[in-house]
Amino acid sequence: MAERVQVREIEPESGTCITIPQVAGPGTSQPAYDPLNATASTATVFPTENCSGDTRYTLRPLLGRGGTAMKFRAVIFS
């Protein structure tokens, strides 16, 4: 069972990839899930570290949510 982890970025820097340290490394942990974007910026979450790969999901500003099926390891705000 995956552990619930809350990550808060109060004022995220635009354009900087943030790899979630608690879920970094596909061989060491389960990915995070159920993203909630409570910032004033658009958040793009990635299932891989370092905001890499073709798969990504965009969450709208102010309460954009991904649901429990959305798995991610990194986020970038714009």
Quick check: 9 pLDDT over 80?
A: no
What are 57's two structure tokens? Answer: 């999901």
Residue 67 domain-assigned?
yes
- In the chain, the number of structural domains is 1
What per-residue confidence (pLDDT) applies to 24? 82
How is the beta sheet containing 17-19 ordered, strand by strand?
17-19, 74-77, 43-46, 57-59
Residue 7 domain-assigned?
no
What per-residue confidence (pLDDT) applies to 5? 57
Residue 54 domain-assigned?
yes
Which residues constitute the domain of residue 22?
Answer: 17-77
pLDDT interval class at 47 (50, 70, 90) = very high
What are 21's two structure tokens? Answer: 């340290």
Residue 2 domain-assigned?
no
In the chain, beta strands by DSSP E: 17-19, 32-33, 36-37, 43-46, 57-59, 64-65, 71-72, 74-77
* Helices and strands, number each (H, E), in the chain: 0, 8
